[in-house]
């Protein structure tokens, strides 16, 4: 059971790790159009899964829970910002910076837990967060501006994780609800694109159309693998596995797409990697789950 869970976890984070290659294949499509297709086709894919499992009983109680709906709507809005930023960053030649966002995300989650949930950090966690902050400061000073793409990704996903903790639904149900909330705005935007003859879907290459449709499955499958892994292996193990995705994204950006990786950026990344090493070793030493929030989807 545990070996299968580990396999599911590795598969989920590996799929998330190669996502930049997928979005790069859609580089000629505007980010906003990719985003709305991802929302629409994710909902279609998730509804098919719910139909196969006959899992509809949660919908009526949800409609009678305005607080939960409000939380889901806020989570959906954060997800839109996260997905848009990630896709735009990848297709703008900034894969390395997007990977930085998911490297620092676990530390951001710890910080949010302290600030918003009044959790207490152990000394080792304080050291890790402080070292990561020094790394971000170094990158800011060396480049003259904040690594804003990485920070947007880390904080939107961090807040998304906090909100998901308050939703009494499984991953398929909560993701379906979020996509349902976003569906009509996304569909309206897509209709406007078609009316203005600006849509790529069905009017570009067949490959582009197929990739846009498949974006729903590409979004949902890693989520399902992650959910299966979370049921079978400790969260501390998942917390370590999560570094697979940004590491692969980083390597893809540098070695496949040839993004510039200067000495200054290397130093900044090394400082943040040291922070992650401290954080991971500290968590393993205390044998407690790594507080990495809701680590389901990512980008």
For the segment 1-18, what is each residue's pLDDT rounded down to a tens digit? 557 888 988 999 999 999
Q: What's residue 166's pLDDT? A: 85
| CA distances for 60 relative to 16, 55, 177, 180, 261, angstroms | 32, 12, 12, 14, 51
Percent of the chain with pLDDT over 70: 93
The predicted model gives 235-251 an average pLDDT of 82
Among 291, 299, 296, which residue's Cα sits nearest to residue 111? Answer: 291
Measure the CA–CA gap between 107 and 121, rounded to whole angstroms: 11
- Indicate whether 294 pLDDT > 50: no
Q: What's residue 1's pLDDT? A: 56
User: The whole model's pTM is what?
Assistant: 0.87
Among 123, 98, 72, which residue's Cα sits nearest to residue 19? Answer: 98
Measure the CA–CA gap between 168 and 170, rounded to whole angstroms: 7
Residues 31-83: tens digit of each pLDDT: 999 999 999 999 999 999 999 989 899 999 998 899 999 999 999 999 999 99
| SS3 of residue 268 by DSSP | helix
Would you say 235 and 294 are in contact if contact means Cβ atoms under 8 Å apart?
Answer: no
- Indicate whether 110 pLDDT > 90: no
Q: What residue spans define the domains of the chain?
A: 2-286
| SS3 of residue 168 by DSSP | coil
Percent of the chain with pLDDT over 90: 49
- Indicate whether 291 pLDDT > 70: no
DSSP state of 292: -
| SS3 of residue 245 by DSSP | helix
């Amino acid at each position: 059971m545990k070996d299968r869970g580990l396999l599911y976890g590795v598969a989920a984070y590996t799929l998330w790790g190669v996502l930049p290659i997928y979005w790069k294949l859609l580089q000629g499509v505007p980010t906003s159009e990719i985003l709305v297709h991802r929302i629409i086709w994710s909902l279609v894919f998730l509804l098919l899964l719910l139909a196969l499992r006959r899992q509809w009983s949660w919908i009526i109680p949800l409609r009678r829970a305005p607080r939960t709906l409000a939380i889901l709507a806020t989570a959906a809005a954060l997800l839109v910002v996260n997905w848009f930023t990630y896709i735009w960053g990848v297709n703008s030649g900034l894969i390395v910076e997007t990977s930085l966002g998911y490297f620092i995300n676990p530390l951001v989650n710890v910080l949010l837990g302290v600030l918003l949930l009044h959790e207490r950090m152990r000394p080792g966690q304080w050291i890790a967060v402080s070292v990561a902050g020094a790394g971000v400061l170094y990158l800011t000073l060396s480049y003259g501006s904040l690594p804003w793409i990485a920070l947007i990704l880390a904080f939107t996903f961090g807040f998304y994780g906090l909100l998901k903790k308050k939703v009494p639904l499984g991953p398929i149900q909560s993701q379906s609800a979020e996509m349902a909330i976003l569906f009509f705005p996304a569909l309206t935007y897509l209709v406007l694109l078609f009316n203005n003859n600006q849509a790529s879907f069905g009017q570009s290459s067949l490959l582009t159309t197929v990739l846009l449709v498949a974006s729903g499955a590409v979004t949902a499958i890693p989520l399902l693998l992650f959910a299966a892994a979370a049921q079978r292996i400790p969260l501390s193990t998942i917390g370590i596995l999560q570094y697979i995705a940004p590491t692969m994204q980083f390597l893809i950006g540098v070695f496949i797409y040839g993004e510039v990786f200067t000495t200054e950026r290397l130093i900044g990344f090394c400082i943040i990697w040291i922070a992650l090493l401290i954080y991971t070793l500290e968590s393993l030493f205390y044998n407690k789950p790594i507080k990495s929030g809701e680590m389901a989807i990512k980008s």
